[in-house]
Chains A and B, each alone.
Chain A
């Protein structure tokens, strides 16, 4: 029996024991929604719910009461019983009621303590503990986004080290980032596989284990992926802001139209949760239920993912870490246009539709956005224990031929003399992930 099958069996058993009746009311919207949307969850999310329910089911009544004592006391102080609080799904009204309560922060801490206890239980001897795996976060600030070498790494406050890179001499006339990610057949001294198809080190590999997020149009060459010969998925998750253009525009149009007709924000959310988005998706998104719903949730949760490619990349990567805990995230930033006169305030809709004046690239603004958002992606990863020890982070600033590297002391690239050749960089990263 695999780990996943064991977890599934544990959860079925927990549900049969009536574990949901032991949960505090504020846990129910989350847990019920996760169970209902099981097919849309990534393996990591399923395991998280399974761990919680299995843990609670294993406790005696007294132990269970002790575990939830703080949460239940806070729910009473908050007056949750008097709220119009949905127990079936997470709603804006639920979130709003919770956030307004003076006990909100205490409640957050108490809930986190319960999840921490479940995580600890899962790590006890005899349980299926997670092995330490090598992970990689690789981010690209492309050539077009010109950065200032004297300040570009300032925000990183010395947690890593900048390395000078040698010239790029790919025989295939490819962009450097794609050279790292995709196979390089027939290039002497270069690994034949790319980071997106290098042999993995996970026991149960799923496509959610490697992600590529792009503020532009996505990878130029997909001829090496399984999709080229079959209708299966790419073998990794690929989300491109450009290729999701139809999805974004239709989605934001629906959102703005509905805002005028529906008084309640939860109604808007509910409608958008149910809209069939398949026709708006590129094939690599529509082929995977979990990915399709991930994109919907990304756009619904805001943070600029519908509007700006760089926000899409940052928020997408952050959500990927939170939800899927992939072993590799590769992300490429890009250009956004300057807000147009008089319609800059109306950024919620397609500015090209509102104002026919030609778009003008915001070179400096896009580079400044990419600089801080690259840091945010790394900080998002380090919120989770999985990325705190054996993870390499590489941020490429192509316009200055530099990489900023955070890596454990055993990472072989530290031994290389500068400028580091780009083939050596690719080799070191592929070996790290092998």
Chain B
């Protein structure tokens, strides 16, 4: 049983009328604000940006950014915009914005991301012990286009994921067509544990020594233990992968900025983009999950970080010649979080069968977007896989999800 109530059944929705009304009011204000922003994009400058990217036969790339669980009220609502200045002000005016992107499956991390990647609602073990039951778009793309594994990557902060997220258990597809999966935050945890075990904890307080602790952890661990599957048959890292990770660690430590798991994930992602230029890249941020520990302020800090890092990823797309003008970037939360007053302890968790938990949003940027607009029609997370597969030039497999008509290559 979940914690929370006898038999985990008690849920009194009468307490929710207040917050729900608040969300409605915020939504109206958000739409008004967004309408002004989008109207601004109808000016010639906006058209100039759009025509620039519609430049013919460039191969399509896809960058999918999944933020953990965030509620609408803390993000795209009147009161929430303050937490997402980059998404709201820098990216929204040039985006195709789906106001309602719904997770109607299991609102737990492994299942949510599996559903996004496969186009079918997955109902798997929450601990990532079982691979998705139907093919991911990595597998569909790799098998159809006959591309190398290094063209498809997952870089994730979330501890609830395992390397099984990279490929399904479908016997016609499976790991042979799966993506490289790396979990930078696990590397950081490993470094902390190693430092603790060997009495070198003072190194974790000394910025100049953290880099070597992280590199030691990488050298001393087995990669399967870290949840990675980028190693070769010998169990060693490809030297190019190893160099990429070391550069990412050095940037992370020497940058002098914030030091969260999502920061390391960002640096790793950017380095992978620079070294491998994969056609398909999935990034999962999870600092927002500090909410599980009951700190609202740390949860908001996680939202701010995801906002900034998503924007920095888009800046990398725009400045990196391998990506500029040919990359469609999608940004969405895995799900919302539970409403204030729920028996599941509100923002702490994401398991209430409530709109606050299931109803999120999605932003699309890049050449697949004809023109900036806000789409109020609800879409589902399972619509993402067939859409991305089509963008990559493959025929999507039959799935529960439907291709989004607003996005096309």
A409→B196 CA distance, assembly (Å): 58
Indicate if B205 sits at the interface (CB-CB under 8 A): yes
- Contact in complex: A30, B6 (CB < 8 Å): yes
- Contact in complex: B293, A304 (CB < 8 Å): yes
Instruction: Name the residue of chain A whose CB is nearest to the CB of B291.
Output: A304
Contacts of B7 in A (CB 8 A): 26-27, 30, 111-112, 115
- Contact in complex: B201, A356 (CB < 8 Å): yes
A380→B290 CA distance, assembly (Å): 21
- Contact in complex: B348, A303 (CB < 8 Å): yes
Secondary structure call for the B interface: helix
B3 partner, pick from A100, A101, A303, A382, beta carbons under 8 A: A303
A304→B347 CA distance, assembly (Å): 12
- Contact in complex: A265, B127 (CB < 8 Å): yes
A108-B296 in contact given A99-B351, A301-B3 (Cβ < 8 Å): no
Contacts of B111 in A (CB 8 A): 100
* Interface residue stretch chosen among B45-53, B93-101, B185-193, B240-248: B185-193
Q: For residue A385, give the distance in angstroms from its CB to the closest CB of chain B.
A: 9
- CB 8 Å contact bits of A336-354 with B (1 = contact, 0 = none): 1001111111110100011
- Contact in complex: B18, A157 (CB < 8 Å): yes
- Contact in complex: A302, B292 (CB < 8 Å): yes
- Contact in complex: B192, A354 (CB < 8 Å): yes
A180→B277 CA distance, assembly (Å): 64
A372-B1 in contact given A115-B9, A345-B189, A355-B204 (Cβ < 8 Å): no
Contacts of B195 in A (CB 8 A): 354
Q: For residue A191, give the distance in angstroms from its CB to the closest CB of chain B.
A: 33
A376 partner, pick from B300, B301, B345, beta carbons under 8 A: B345
A331→B210 CA distance, assembly (Å): 40
A87→B4 CA distance, assembly (Å): 19
- Contact in complex: B6, A115 (CB < 8 Å): yes
A339→B290 CA distance, assembly (Å): 11
Identify which of residues 103-160 in chain B touch chain A, using a CB-to-CB cut-off of 8 Å.
Answer: 106, 108, 111, 123-127
- CB 8 Å contact bits of B1-31 with A (1 = contact, 0 = none): 1111111111110010011001000000000
A112→B6 CA distance, assembly (Å): 9
Identify which of residues 91-114 in chain A touch chain B, using a CB-to-CB cut-off of 8 Å.
Answer: 94-96, 98-102, 104-105, 108-109, 111-112
Q: For residue B130, give the distance in angstroms from its CB to the closest CB of chain A.
A: 11
Indicate if A379 sits at the interface (CB-CB under 8 A): yes
Contacts of A27 in B (CB 8 A): 7
A108-B348 in contact given A311-B294, A344-B259 (Cβ < 8 Å): no
Contacts of B295 in A (CB 8 A): 304, 308, 310-311, 336, 365, 369
Contacts of A102 in B (CB 8 A): 123
A262→B76 CA distance, assembly (Å): 41
A20→B340 CA distance, assembly (Å): 36
Indicate if A128 sits at the interface (CB-CB under 8 A): no
A159-B298 in contact given A108-B9, A311-B293, A345-B261 (Cβ < 8 Å): no
Contacts of A340 in B (CB 8 A): 205
A372-B296 in contact given A99-B2, A112-B9 (Cβ < 8 Å): yes
Indicate if A364 sits at the interface (CB-CB under 8 A): yes
- Contact in complex: A108, B123 (CB < 8 Å): no
Contacts of B1 in A (CB 8 A): 29-30, 90, 94-95, 98
Instruction: Name the residue of chain B whose CB is nearest to the CB of A336.
Output: B295
* Number of residues of chain B lying within 8 A (CB) of chain A: 59
Contacts of A372 in B (CB 8 A): 296, 340, 347
A342→B254 CA distance, assembly (Å): 12
A307→B295 CA distance, assembly (Å): 10
Indicate if B275 sits at the interface (CB-CB under 8 A): no
A159→B328 CA distance, assembly (Å): 46
Which among B3, B126, B343 has the greatest number of chain A C-beta atoms within 10 A? B3
Indicate if A318 sits at the interface (CB-CB under 8 A): yes
- CB 8 Å contact bits of A312-346 with B (1 = contact, 0 = none): 00110010001000000000000010011111111
- CB 8 Å contact bits of A145-159 with B (1 = contact, 0 = none): 000000000010101
A362→B300 CA distance, assembly (Å): 14
- CB 8 Å contact bits of B195-226 with A (1 = contact, 0 = none): 11000011011010010000000000000000
Identify which of residues 355-377 in chain A touch chain B, using a CB-to-CB cut-off of 8 Å.
Answer: 355-357, 362, 364-366, 368-369, 372-373, 375-376
Identify which of residues 271-322 in chain A touch chain B, using a CB-to-CB cut-off of 8 Å.
Answer: 297, 301-305, 307-308, 310-311, 314-315, 318, 322
- Contact in complex: B340, A375 (CB < 8 Å): yes
A318→B338 CA distance, assembly (Å): 16
- Contact in complex: B196, A383 (CB < 8 Å): no
What are 17 A-B pairs at a CB distance below 8 A? A45-B6, A100-B123, A101-B123, A105-B353, A108-B8, A109-B9, A111-B9, A303-B292, A305-B294, A310-B294, A346-B192, A353-B201, A354-B192, A365-B298, A369-B297, A372-B340, A382-B341
In the complex, the 7 A-B pairs of residues with the closest C-beta atoms, listed nearest first = A311-B294, A304-B294, A304-B293, A301-B3, A365-B297, A379-B341, A90-B1
Additional pairs, 16, CB under 8 Å, beyond known A115-B10, A304-B293, A354-B195 = A100-B106, A303-B348, A311-B293, A314-B345, A318-B345, A322-B4, A322-B5, A341-B205, A345-B188, A345-B260, A365-B295, A366-B297, A372-B296, A376-B341, A382-B15, A383-B15
Q: What is the interface of chain A, defined by CB distance below 8 A to chain B?
A: 26-27, 29-30, 45, 48, 90, 94-96, 98-102, 104-105, 108-109, 111-112, 115, 155, 157, 159, 265, 297, 301-305, 307-308, 310-311, 314-315, 318, 322, 336, 339-347, 349, 353-357, 362, 364-366, 368-369, 372-373, 375-376, 379-380, 382-383
